[in-house]
C-alpha cells in the first residue's frame, strides 16, 4: 500500500515525481494499457525516479496497490460513455500534489479534463496515441478542450513520424512533437528450446495436417479489419488463428459460419501472456489488416517481429508501415482489400526462404529501435531535458 504522504516524502528526498494518467491499466488487456505498464515498470527501476499511475477501476470503489514496483491508484467509475470511464474521483486524485511531470495518455477526455481543471505539474507531457476517429459528435464538443490541452503541453509524444505528419491536430504544434516509438520486452519472445517445444505442441494441436498458420492478435474492434482477413481466407490453403476478444467478435464468428470457413478459421479468445510467444512462434505469417487511423502503430507487429515472424499490414498513413517496412520485415497492402491480403499471404507462403529473411530483419529492427529499454531511456531523457537536467544516457 502507499499513501499521499509517502509521495510527499519522496519529493523532499529529491526524487523526480512522475504521474501517468489513463483510463485503464493492467490486467486490462490493450495496446496502450500494455505500453503504459512496460514504460512505468521500466521508469520505476531508474534511480532518482518515483513513478505513479492514476487510472479508473472497473467498479465504484477506489483501490491502491503496487504492481511491478509501481504504485497504482484505480479510482472508482460510475459509468462509461463512448468507451470513456466517468469518474469524479479522478478529478479529486489528480490534484492532490504537484508533480515534476504529469504524463497524460491521449485519447482519454475525462483524464485530460481532470488535468486541465485540477492537475498540477511543473511540466506536462502528452502521449498522443491516436486521433479521435469514430466519436464525431464527442469530438465537436471536446475540440476546444483538446486544442487547449495541446497548447498547454510541453511535449507531444508520437509513436512514428508518419502520424505526426498526418494528424490534423498535431500539425499545428510541430515544434512540440517528439517521435519516441513504443518498445516491448524482448525477453518475453526469446527463442529458447522450451518455447520451441511449446510452439510445436501448439502447432500440432491447431494445424495437425501441416497446414500453414496465418495469425491475427488483437482486440476485436471495428478498426482492426479482421472481416477482410476472414474474407481473404476463402481461397487460401492455410489456417487462420484469431487471438483476441472484443465488441465485433460475435459478428466475425457469424461471418465465418456464413462463408463456410469453420474448418479454416479458429477463434482462440484470450490467451495468457505466458503462452503468447509460443503462439507467434508456431505461426508462419502474422497479419494486421487494420482499416482506420485508430490503428496508429500496431504494437502486436513488434511482438510478431520479435518472434521472427514476417508481417503483412495495411497502409493507413499512420505508424503501421513505419514499423513493418515493405519488402523488409514483411509486406504492406491497401486496406479493406481481401484480394490484396490473399495475394500477399499466398506470395509469402510460396517462399519459405523469403519468410525467413523477413523474420530475421524484423527481429533485428525490433532489437535496434523498439525495445523497452530504448523507449524508457528516450522518455526519461526527455523528462530530464524538460526539468533542466542533463540526460544520463548515450544514444546508441
Residue 158 in grid coordinates: 508520437
Q: Which CATH superfamily is domain 186-369 in?
A: Glycogen Phosphorylase B; (3.40.50.2000)
H or E element that contains 86: strand 84-86
Burial 232-258 (b: 16+ CB within 10 A, else e): bbeebebbbbbbbebebbeebbebbee
Question: Please, where are the H alpha helices in 184-248?
Answer: 193-206, 226-232
**C-alpha to C-alpha distance for 220 and 222, rounded to whole angstroms:** 7
Output the tens digit of pLDDT for each of the chain's 396 residues: 233 334 444 454 689 999 999 999 988 878 899 999 999 999 999 999 999 999 999 889 999 999 999 999 999 998 888 778 889 999 999 998 899 999 999 999 999 999 999 999 999 999 999 887 766 667 788 889 999 999 999 999 999 998 888 898 999 999 999 999 999 999 999 999 999 999 999 999 999 999 999 999 999 999 999 999 999 999 899 999 999 999 999 999 999 999 999 999 999 998 888 899 999 999 999 999 999 988 999 999 999 999 999 999 999 989 999 999 999 999 999 999 999 999 999 999 999 999 999 999 999 999 999 999 999 999 999 999 999 987 765 444
For helices 136-152 and 109-118, give the axis angle rounded to 10 degrees: 40
For helices 299-306 and 31-44, give the axis angle rounded to 10 degrees: 70
In this chain, the answer to whether the domains covering 4-183+371-386 and 186-369 adopt an identical fold is yes
- What is the domain class of 4-183+371-386 according to CATH? alpha beta
**C-alpha to C-alpha distance for 182 and 199, rounded to whole angstroms:** 26
pLDDT score for 142? 84
Report pTM: 0.86
**Angle made by CA atoms 190, 196, 199, in degrees to the nearest 5:** 110
**C-alpha to C-alpha distance for 128 and 113, rounded to whole angstroms:** 15
- Domain residue extents for the chain: 4-183+371-386, 186-369
Phi and psi for 259 in degrees, rounded to 5?
A: -85, -5
pLDDT score for 191? 93
Q: Which pairing describes strands 265-269 and 285-288: parallel, antiparallel, or unpaired?
A: unpaired
DSSP string, 68-80: TTEEEEEE--SEE
Amino acid at each position: 500500500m502507499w499513501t499521499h504522504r509517502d509521495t510527499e516524502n519522496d519529493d523532499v528526498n529529491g526524487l523526480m515525481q512522475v504521474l501517468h494518467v489513463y483510463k485503464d491499466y493492467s490486467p486490462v488487456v490493450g495496446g496502450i494499457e500494455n505500453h503504459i505498464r512496460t514504460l512505468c515498470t521500466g521508469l520505476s527501476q531508474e534511480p532518482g525516479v518515483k513513478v505513479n499511475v492514476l487510472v479508473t477501476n472497473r467498479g465504484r470503489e477506489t483501490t491502491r496497490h503496487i504492481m511491478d514496483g509501481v504504485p497504482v491508484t484505480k479510482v472508482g467509475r460510475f459509468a462509461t460513455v463512448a468507451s470513456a470511464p466517468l469518474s469524479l474521483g479522478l478529478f479529486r486524485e489528480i490534484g492532490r500534489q504537484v508533480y515534476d511531470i504529469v504524463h497524460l495518455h491521449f485519447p482519454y477526455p475525462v483524464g485530460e479534463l481532470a488535468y486541465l481543471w485540477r492537475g498540477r505539474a511543473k511540466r506536462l507531457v502528452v502521449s498522443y496515441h491516436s486521433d479521435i476517429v469514430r466519436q464525431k459528435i464527442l469530438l465537436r464538443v471536446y475540440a476546444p478542450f483538446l486544442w487547449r490541452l495541446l497548447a498547454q503541453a510541453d511535449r507531444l509524444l508520437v509513436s512514428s513520424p508518419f502520424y505526426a505528419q498526418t494528424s490534423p491536430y498535431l500539425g499545428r504544434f510541430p515544434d512540440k512533437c517528439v517521435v519516441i516509438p513504443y518498445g516491448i520486452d524482448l525477453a518475453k519472445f526469446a527463442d529458447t528450446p522450451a518455447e520451441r517445444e511449446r510452439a510445436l505442441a501448439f502447432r500440432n494441436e491447431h494445424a495437425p495436417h501441416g497446414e500453414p498458420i496465418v495469425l491475427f492478435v488483437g482486440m476485436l474492434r471495428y478498426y482492426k479489419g479482421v472481416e477482410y482477413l476472414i474474407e481473404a481466407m476463402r481461397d487460401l490453403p492455410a489456417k487462420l488463428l484469431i487471438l483476441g476478444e472484443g465488441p465485433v467478435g460475435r459478428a466475425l464468428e457469424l461471418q465465418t459460419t456464413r462463408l463456410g470457413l469453420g474448418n479454416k478459421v479458429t477463434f482462440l479468445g484470450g490467451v495468457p501472456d505466458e503462452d503468447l510467444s509460443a503462439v507467434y512462434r508456431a505461426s508462419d505469417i502474422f497479419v494486421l489488416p487494420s482499416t482506420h487511423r485508430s490503428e496508429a502503430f500496431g504494437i502486436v507487429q513488434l511482438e510478431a517481429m520479435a518472434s521472427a515472424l514476417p508481417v503483412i499490414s495495411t497502409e493507413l498513413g499512420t505508424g503501421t508501415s513505419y514499423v513493418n517496412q515493405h519488402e523488409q520485415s514483411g509486406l504492406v497492402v491497401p486496406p479493406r482489400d481481401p484480394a490484396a491480403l490473399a495475394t500477399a499471404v499466398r506470395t509469402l507462403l510460396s517462399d519459405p526462404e523469403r519468410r525467413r529473411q523477413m523474420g530475421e530483419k524484423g527481429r533485428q529492427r525490433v532489437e535496434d529501435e523498439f525495445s523497452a529499454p530504448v523507449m524508457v531511456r528516450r522518455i526519461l531523457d526527455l523528462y530530464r531535458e524538460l526539468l533542466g537536467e542533463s540526460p544520463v544516457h548515450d544514444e546508441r
